Amino acid sequence: MQWVLGAEWEALPLAIRSHYAISDPEESTLVTGSMIIDYPDWLRPALKLLRLGKALVDLKGGPMTVEVKKWRGEDSSVLCWHRHVQADDGRRCVFPSRMVSRRAHELVEYVGMGFGIRLRVHVEEGRLVYRSNGHLLKLGAVTLPIPDSLLLGRAVISEEALSDDSFLLRFEIVHPLWGRTYSYGGVFKITR
């Protein structure tokens, strides 16, 4: 993340920098918290299909208990994520992904089956903000671009520091025709 953001890295508050500052492949960070997930009921069948590719979380409601572990891959351009979401009624979901830095201010987050989302990353008023810039499907050596509007819409993710060891996370996808199709948000604490 430091390489992707360049000089903007220094504008991030400690809470945001500390859970991305992973310099060694043996190192990891852990954040825990709770969040609420929302989407329209008509979208449930599509989310079940997306879960087959390990994309998004198909639980709804909350607050749900969340644990997110991050570590660097052997290749320093890769940041691995493992999200575990637990609902009060015992339902749970695991959402792994890996972010690969492509160039300054651009990442691709890959989930299962070669599916990915291109993300532009910047620091805006002290917040870390990701904005989707299309999706892609990687099939061997072939990469097929997919516009945001052909899926759920355009995603915006932001992390805003609340203290030196906690932050507010907001994630929202808005489609140009259907409006807000998916969102989640909550408060997280950096535990290691």
Percent of the chain with pLDDT over 90: 78
In order, the DSSP letters of 48-102 are HHHHHTT-S----EEEEEEEEEEEE-SSTTEEEEEEEEE-TTS-EEEEEEEEEEE
At 92 the pLDDT is 93
Express each pLDDT in 53-98 by its tens digit.
778 889 999 999 999 999 988 888 899 999 999 999 999 999 999 9
Integer angstrom CA distances of residue 60 from 38, 64, 82: 6, 9, 19
Is 112 within 8 Å of 143 (Cβ atoms)? no
Integer angstrom CA distances of residue 156 from 114, 130, 143, 147: 21, 6, 23, 15
> Domain limits of the chain?
2-190
What average pLDDT does the chain have? 93
CATH topology of domain 2-190: Lipocalin (2.40.128)
The better pLDDT of the pair 92, 51 is held by: 92
